Amino acid sequence: MEGRRVRPWWLALAASLLLHGSLIGGLEWRLPQWHPPAEPPPFDAQLVAAPPPVVPPPAAVPPLPAPPAIPPRTPRVAPAELPAAAETEAETEAAAIAAADSSAAPAVRLDEAPAAAPAPVEAPPAAAVPALNPLPPRLDLHFRVHYGVASGEQTLLWVNEGERYTLTSVAAASGLAGVFYRGRFVQTSRGRITPHGLQPEEFWDQRGDKRSRASFDAANGSLTLIPAKGAPRHFAYQGEVQDALSLFFQLALTAPPPDGRLTYTVFNGKKLRDYSYEVRGEEILQTALGELRTLHLARVAGDDGRFEAWLAIDRLYLPVRVLRSDDKGGTVELSVKSIGP
């Protein structure tokens, strides 16, 4: 038994020695060798300027909304002067008004009273133009004419065509006077009817075989007379102007007041003059048409002689009697015989 136990031990020892011997002498064991890495190839380095940095465009910044206007504070009123409900309502109304006007007016300091806005200056109202008396489209006035011992007749014809008018006067001696005063005396006036009355544009004067013509230029305030003989004559005027015929119907259209004075610039067929007429009030006049209530006008004394007219108040202020002096100092009287369409 003892011999069996020793034998394996020797075998193990022999095997160990054999192994150690082979390791030390018979076999070459080499450790792995370390080799340094190969030297890297040389390289060149150059400094190159860096490109400018690309700055992205700034994003659009929306404008900041305007700060809301702070409505002015409304001073509070003591409860004894204003109830609480009214006070709250007043503050609310003031805030609403201030918010509505914040874009148009700056805020007002509480310690500064706003300046009072100047009151608008109203232009004076334009003078009202009195309405004209309406006249029929046609009127025929017949007069008896007395000139010293001579007599005759005169017809005055009014024709109204819308805004245009024509006035024609024809006078002729009659009876025995026709033997000494031959021919006819004809005058014609034409023009416009304006809100202010008549505005003559042309005037013709014919005495026998002598004729003259006048032209009115209202825009430039000038009158040109082409007489029967001689060179044309020029006159200047301002405002409104009338002629020897249109003056009668200008008075009829405007109905003069019962007193006072009237001033007209009148062309009498030869020259242009400013005349003043005194209104001498109402008079009862006996005529071929019966008793008429008239308005008496007389030209203020001047170097052009006498001129008076009686206008029938109840007959459209038409002339029913006229007294005037001529170039020789004689007096011509016209008395109405009839007024018809």
Place of tokens 């809100």: 195
Q: Which of 139, 178, 173 is nearest to 159 (CA)?
A: 139
Residue 184 has pLDDT above 80, yes or no: yes
pLDDT the model gives residue 327: 73
Kindly report the pTM of this predicted structure: 0.62
The gap from C-alpha 268 to its chain's centroid, in whole angstroms, comes to 39
* Pairwise CA distance, residues 144 & 338, whole Å: 10
pLDDT the model gives residue 249: 97
Section 293-310 average pLDDT: 90
Q: Which residue has better confidence, 119 or 133? A: 133
pLDDT the model gives residue 100: 44
**Domain spans, the chain:** 138-340
Question: Please, what is the average pLDDT of the chain?
Answer: 76
Place of tokens 């109204």: 160
Q: Is 249 helix (H, G, I), strand (E, B) or coil?
A: helix
How far apart, in Å, are the Cα atoms of 225 and each of 228, 241, 271, 315? 10, 14, 9, 34
Contact indicator for 266, 241 with CB cutoff of 8 Å: yes
Residue 272 forms beta bridges with which residues? 267
Q: Which of 340, 323, 311 is nearest to 146 (CA)?
A: 323
Chain segment 29-79, per-residue pLDDT in tens: 444 444 554 554 554 545 445 555 555 554 444 454 454 454 454 444 443
Task: Tell me how many helices (H) and strands (E) the chain has.
Answer: 4, 15
Q: Which residue has better confidence, 88 or 188? A: 188
Section 189-207 average pLDDT: 96
* Pairwise CA distance, residues 172 & 129, whole Å: 39
Burial of 314 (0-12, 13-18, 19+ CB in 10 A): exposed
Reported confidence tier of residue 208, pLDDT bands at 50, 70, 90 = confident
Percent over 70 (pLDDT), the chain: 60
Chain segment 226-251, per-residue pLDDT in tens: 999 999 999 999 999 999 999 999 99
Can you name the CATH fold of 138-340? outer membrane lipoprotein receptor (LolB), chain A (2.50.20)
Q: Is 340 helix (H, G, I), strand (E, B) or coil?
A: strand
